[in-house]
Structure 1
């Protein structure tokens, strides 16, 4: 059994027991969280596709930790002009462990 959920404008394929990193959620570590935007559920070969979401479907998870992702560097330069600029970004992430898929 697996589901496709949407959070942070990204889609994730999850199954019970999976651990994944999503964009930061406003929940403290150790607390449960329920994802309501479930786009697809596969239950032993019976696929339910939402329009846009599956009705009465949710994914329950537990927040494990909050962390920051790896640093992404961007370098801008215009040749022969003496212009160069370095920009860095680190995304705030939440690690969640999927407990169950409820249909």
Structure 2
């Protein structure tokens, strides 16, 4: 059984027991979160697709940890004008473990 969920403006294909990194959520480590933006659910034989979301489906997950991704460098410059700007960025994330996919 798998589900396609949306969180943080991105879509993820998840199954029970999966560990994924999503955009930072406002939840403490060890807390349980419910993701109710479920776009589709499949049990192996039957595929249920929402328009745009399934009303009676939810995915329960546990927050494992919060962190920051790898650093990327943003470098701007204009040739021959002595203009240079160097900036780094690390995107915050939340690592969650999918516990249960429910469809009623």
Give the TM-score normalised by the residue count of structure 1: 0.97
**Displacement of 1:64:** 0.4
**Displacement of 1:55:** 1.7
- How many pairs are equivalent? 103
**Structure 1 partner of 2:50:** 50
Q: Secondary structure at the match of 1:99?
A: strand
**Displacement of 1:24:** 0.9
Give the TM-score normalised by the residue count of structure 2: 0.96
Structure 1: gaps spanning 5 or more residues: none
1:1-103 counterparts in 2 under 5 A?
1-103=1-103
Query: How far apart in 2 are the matches of 1:72 and 1:65?
Result: 21
**Displacement of 1:92:** 1.1
User: For the aligned residues, what is the CA RMSD?
Assistant: 0.7
Query: How far apart in 2 are the matches of 1:3 and 1:86?
Result: 41
Query: How far apart in 1 are the matches of 2:70 and 2:94?
Result: 13
Query: How far apart in 1 are the matches of 2:47 and 2:59?
Result: 16
